[in-house]
Amino acid sequence: MDNGTVDVGLLVVIVLLGLLVLGALYLMPKLWRSKADIQKDEATAKWWPFGEAFRAGFVRSIPAAVLACLMLELGLIAGFFEQYLTGDGSRFASRLTVYFGTAFVLMLLVDLSVTLFNRPKFIVPPDARDEPGALRLWWSGRKYKKTRGRRAN
């Protein structure tokens, strides 16, 4: 900032998001090894409005979402320092902000791809790599419901 004051709002966001990211990174190995305590069908139906197919896709995409949040956190930190540095330091922090912002958007697209198509496989937990994506699960569920409802002639 120009008058030497600290942007407290941005600092609060950085600290809170940082705690969330650190907690998620701490739990990531359990999720990766499929040892996380994730609720299944019956319990999920009470609070998840999008159906089981998209819940399964959401769970598979958590590693990509955590990486996206990490990129956002690093971009916010770079943007915070950009305000207080001068000259080359400020330009470097500015470039980092743009790079991390771009990486954040790309990770959101990867997250969406993992949810819908279960691709790319390298970012999907190993036990879930052979599962179909949410779109295929949802579509096959629709086909099954349509054919099950018809009468045999």
Domain membership flag for residue 42: no
Q: What percent of the chain has pLDDT over 70?
A: 80
The mean per-residue pLDDT over the stretch 134-141 comes to 83
Domain membership flag for residue 128: yes
**Number of domains within the chain:** 1
CB < 8 Å & 24+ apart, contacts of 137-142: 137/52, 137/53, 137/56, 137/57, 138/51, 138/53, 138/54, 141/51, 141/53
Range of the structural domain that residue 111 is part of: 8-37+53-148
pLDDT band of residue 59 (cuts 50, 70, 90) is: confident
Domain membership flag for residue 48: no
Chain-centre distance of CA 152, in angstroms?
45
> What pLDDT, on a 0 to 100 scale, did the predictor assign at position 145?
57
* 43: pLDDT strictly greater than 80: no
- What is the reported pTM? 0.82
Domain membership flag for residue 153: no
> What pLDDT, on a 0 to 100 scale, did the predictor assign at position 6?
84
> What pLDDT, on a 0 to 100 scale, did the predictor assign at position 138?
81
